Structure 1
Amino acid sequence: VREKAIAATPLGRAGKPLEVAYAALFLVSEESSFITGQVLFVDGGRSIGAAPA
C-alpha cells in the first residue's frame, strides 16, 4: 500500500510529519493573515493528478 501511494504522488516520495507541521505553523503565523477560505493540501501533488509515467 505504501509503495502504491508513493507511486501515485508526483513528488515521488512520502511526506514527512515535519512538512505538515510547517504548513500548520504557516497558517497560524502572521504571514498567513490575509489568507481566508482556502484549503491547503499538503500531499506532494496527489490532489492535482496522477504521477507522471
Structure 2
Amino acid sequence: MLTKGFAMELGARNIRVNAVAPAITRTDMTSGIPADHLREETALTPLGRLAEPEDIADVVAFLASNDARWVTGRTVLTDGGRI
C-alpha cells in the first residue's frame, strides 16, 4: 500500500514509484543460510536456481529506465516464479 500511495501522491509530478520483491538472492548476506534450506528454496522455484544479484539488478534497471514509463504503484516479484 505504501508503494501505491506514494505513486498516487507523486504521479502528478511525473514521479513513478515501484518496489522490487526478490526471493533469496545469492549474496554474501545469504552465504550463511544452511545448504538444506537453500535446496528447499531452489526446489520451490520453477527456474531451478536461486537468484543472482544481476537478476534483481536487471529488474531495478528496467524500472528506472524509460522503458517502464507507464509502470507505477507496483511491486514486482523477482522470485523466479517461486511457488
- Whether the TM-score (by the shorter chain) exceeds 0.5 is yes
Please give the TM-score of this superposition, normalised by the length of structure 2: 0.54
- Tell me the CA shift for residue 32 of structure 1: 0.3
Tell me which of the two structures has the higher relative contact order, counting C-alpha pairs closer than 8 angstroms and 6 or more residues apart.
Answer: 1
**Equivalences, count:** 47
* Residue 56 (structure 2) pairs with residue 20 (structure 1): yes
Residue among 20, 44, 47 paired with 1:8 = 44
Larger Rg: 2
Please give the TM-score of this superposition, normalised by the length of structure 1: 0.81
Q: Give structure 1 stretches of 5+ with no counterpart.
A: none
In the TM superposition, structure 1's runs of 4+ consecutive aligned residues that sit over 2 Å from their partners are none
Identity %: 36
What is the Cα-based RMSD across aligned positions, in Å? 0.8
